[in-house]
Amino acid sequence: MKRTMCGIALLAGLATATPAFAQVSLVGEWSPRYHEDQPDRIPGPELGDYTGLPITDGARLSADSWDASRLTLREHQCKVHNGPYILHGPIQFRLWEEKDPRTQQVSALRMYLNTYEQERTIWMDGRPHPPEFAPHTWQGFSTGKWDGDILTVTTTHIKQEWIRRNGVPNSEKSSMVEHFIKHGTIMTHLEIWTDPVYLAEPLIRSEDFVLNERTGGNWLWPCEYVDEIVDRPHSVVPHYLPGHSPFAGDFAYRYGVPVEAANGGAETTYPEYQARLRTLPKPVKPAAGK
Amino acid sequence: MTTHTKLMAAIAMAGAVGFAARVYTQAPAAASIESLRVGGNVYMLVGAGGNIAVQTGDEGVLVVDTGLAQNAPAVLAAIKKLSDKPIRWVLNTHFHADHTGGNEALSKAGSKTNGQPAEVLAHENVLTRLSAPAGRGGAAPTALWPTDTYSTDEKDIYFNGEAVMLYNEPKAHTDGDSIIFFRKSDVVVAGDTFVTTSYPFIDQANGGSIQGEINALNRILDLAVPAHEQEGGTFVIPGHGRICDEADVLEYRDMVTIIRDRIADMVKRKLTIDQVKAAKPTLDYDLHYGSTTGFVTTAGFIEAVYKDLSNPQGKPRVR
């Protein structure tokens, strides 16, 4: 009888301990593989390339108005990429677990993102997200939970930055759901980016990362602004008036992409759009220096 | 309609039929007040009307703006949770009722060291507007008026071990705006020169202007110093909306400036106001800040900017 009770107790103990000890570990140094969307992620997109983005008309106007000289403004110079953008960009990251010393339950996953020395916390202790009046950060506020072996993370309180590095903005109303899926030494990261201001439908994209045996490769970011254009009034904000960007139409013409497709939008992200694409006129050479 | 636009609608209605009577005596039920620590000894209270800043310390409590009158008991209860010291100072960022409605209650609930009600300090045009709103007949009750005013570009006081700076930005949201900077806690209180919930309300009837508004936003950028990665550092409490830092104010400043530039170009090309509206100069920001109802509508903002740029006489200059 005693042995039976001991056995039951042992089984019960193992059962309750299982979630803490059988979970997939994502700990380590991870490097991306850029076989997906390489031109967008490494050299960077061309001006006017909104292909594949389910953007709103407002996002397109904002991007067409964007002048890269805006980055010369002192307050823009030291900005970093936000959470939804950076895992699709050039990056390596280190991930480690923070555990409650008494229960050994994971209370948080910490990430060091080597691009711009960013740090990110994914809370695993069930805490709620902050109130809507709390500050926003580049990485936002993240909480995670395991769905089997898939880590699902929800992020809110994200700062405004961009969806694509050519002026397509995201808004501070953005939120993101991510899935981290590990297969041995490969990890697939899937993100679903929602933005009621600049995305007509959620933007879904994925990346693969490989576990590094060697560490290093940190990109330090001791940024200090300078006045890059000394005689410019402080209050000037570089931008193009609607219809006056000298780059309008360049991308579509250079690559032979119909203007409608280059402009992006939800419709252009679906496979059915390929049929329509074949019916669209080829782009004409834009008038230079509008 | 957002909370902010409801409040502004209340202000507009009050202005139309008698400022004091409507805004200060007829009110919806009191709101629940949420408190968040911003930086140092400064907290933000949300839910009373306009945002309220509270600084606490050994010398007592300093309050920036007081919300709508009917919410004063809830505001006092929220302040009591932060400090059991008396309210010594009340500062107003501007005269609108959602920022000054609780002046009387908070001042009387507090006290100066001589036992008199706590001082209410604001730019002199706050007193001018509350005592006799231009062209609107009646004045607000005297108990709501500032008891101390300043007419210079700057004013400063030292309280609870830190300098508290008041900067007047001429003809911005109104003609009596103060941007208030807690120098040690590193917190800026913007009043309605900066909000996160709508386009800026340019109160032209009370001296506001688009260039003054942009100058005010640039002043906030000058005061704010971000920490590493252009994040945090100085925090900014907007008149309405969430706690921000320099990067957030920057995006708002960029937005207002870009829209100003677009409409200025249209004014230069002699487009009519209807043509300007049809051209949708705010399209890229409308899903964030735009509204077709309430007081701060997209159309109203475009009209205010157009009117201002069409008649630039007496408006602040670009800095």
The complex scores an ipTM of 0.91
* Inside any domain, residue A85: yes
Split into its structural domains, chain B has a count of: 1
Q: CATH number of the domain at A114, please.
A: 2.40.128
| CB contacts, 8 Å: B279 with chain A | 242
- CB-nearest partner of A135 from B215, B243, B318: B243
Could you give the CA distance from residue A36 to residue A50 in angstroms, rounded to a whole number? 16
From B88's Cα to the closest Cα of chain A, the distance in A is 27
Asked if the structure places residue B307 within a domain, the reply is no
Residue of A nearest to B281 (CA): A242
Q: Are A135 and B235 an interchain contact pair (Cβ–Cβ within 8 Å)?
A: yes
Does position A219 have pLDDT exceeding 80, yes or no? Answer: no
Rounded to a whole number, what is the distance in Å from the CA of B104 to chain A's nearest CA?
Answer: 27
For residue A183, is it within any domain?
yes
Of A56, A79, A136, the CB nearest to B287: A56
Cross-chain Cβ contact B218/A235 below 8 Å:
yes
Whether residue A179 is contained in a domain is answered as yes
The percentage of chain A sitting over the pLDDT mark of 90, rounded to a whole number, equals: 78
**Is A116 part of the contact surface with chain B (CB cutoff 8 Å)?**
yes
Q: Is A269 on the interface with B (CB under 8 A)?
A: no
Give the pair of three-digit tokens for residue A239: 């931008």
The domain that holds B224 is classified in CATH as: 3.60.15.10
- Taken as a whole, chain A contains a residue count of 290
Which of residues 176 through 235 in chain A touch B, CB cutoff 8 A?
A: 196-198, 221, 223, 233-235
Q: Quick check: A24 pLDDT over 90?
A: yes
The answer as to whether A218 is a domain residue is: no
Nearest chain B Cα to A244, which residue? Answer: B262
Identity of the residue in B46, B230, B318 whose CB atom sits nearest the CB atom of A78: B230
Band (pLDDT 50/70/90 cuts) for residue A13 is very low
Kindly give, in sequence order, each residue whose CB lies less than 8 Å from that of residue A187, ignoring residues fewer than 6 positions away: A26, A30, A180, A181, A208, A209, A210, A211
Strands (DSSP E) contained in B92-210 are 119-123, 148-150, 154-159, 162-168, 178-182, 187-191
Give the per-residue pLDDT at A186: 97
Write out the residue range of the structural domain in which residue A89 sits: 28-47+70-212
| In the predicted structure, residue A207 carries a pLDDT above the cut 50 | yes
List CB contacts (< 8 A) between B46 and chain A.
133
Q: Exposure pattern of B181-220 as b/e (b: 16+ CB <10 Å)? A: bbeebbbbbbbbbbbbbbbbbbbbebbbbbbbbbbbbbbb
Average per-residue pLDDT for chain A? 91
Contact A241 B265 (CB under 8 A): yes
- For A141-186, how does the pLDDT look when each residue is reduced to its tens digit (9 = 90+)? 999 999 999 999 999 999 999 999 999 999 999 999 999 999 999 9
Residue A61 lies in a domain: no
B21 within a domain of the structure (yes/no): yes
Find, among B148, B155, B146, B164, the residue nearest to B55 by Cα: B164
Upper half-sphere CA count for residue A40 (Cβ side, 13 Å): 21
Which residue range is the domain that position B175 belongs to? 3-247
Total domain count for chain A? 1
Q: Kindly tell me if the per-residue pLDDT of A287 is higher than 80.
A: no
Contact A32, A93 (CB under 8 A): no
Residues 6+ apart with CB under 8 A from B289: B197, B198, B199, B255, B282, B298
Residue A187 in any domain: the answer is yes
Residue A175: predicted pLDDT: 98
Q: Alpha-carbon distance A90 to A41, whole Å?
A: 6
User: What is the rounded average pLDDT of the residues A101-110?
Assistant: 96
Instruction: Please report whether residue B82 resides in a domain.
Output: yes
pLDDT of residue B12: 42
Is the distance from CB of A95 to CB of A111 less than 8 angstroms?
yes
Q: By CB neighbour count within 10 A (0-12 exposed, 13-18 middle, 19+ buried), where does B124 fall?
A: middle
CA A161 from chain centre, in angstroms, equals: 10
In a domain, B58, yes or no: yes
In chain A, residues with a C-beta closer than 8 Å to the C-beta of B34 are 131, 133
Q: What is the mean pLDDT of residues A251-274?
A: 96
Interface mutation vs chain B, best among A50, A57, A75, most B CBs within 10 Å: A75
Residue B134: predicted pLDDT: 59
- Residue B256, in any domain of the structure: no
Residue A100 lies in a domain: yes
Q: How far apart are CA B31 and CA B227, in angstroms?
A: 34
| Structure tokens given for B105 | 């209650």
B127 forms beta bridges with none
Which chain A residues are closer than 8 Å to B245 by Cβ?
135
- Greater pLDDT, A238 or A23: A238
CB neighbour burial string for A50-84, b if at least 16 within 10 angstroms, e if fewer: bbebbbbbbbbbbbbbbbeebebbebbebbbbbbb
Alpha-carbon separation of residue A251 from A66, A72, A268 (angstroms): 15, 24, 16
Inside any domain, residue A4: no
pLDDT at B18: 37
Is A195 in contact with A17 (CB distance < 8 Å)? no
pLDDT-flagged residues of chain B (< 70): 1-31, 133-137
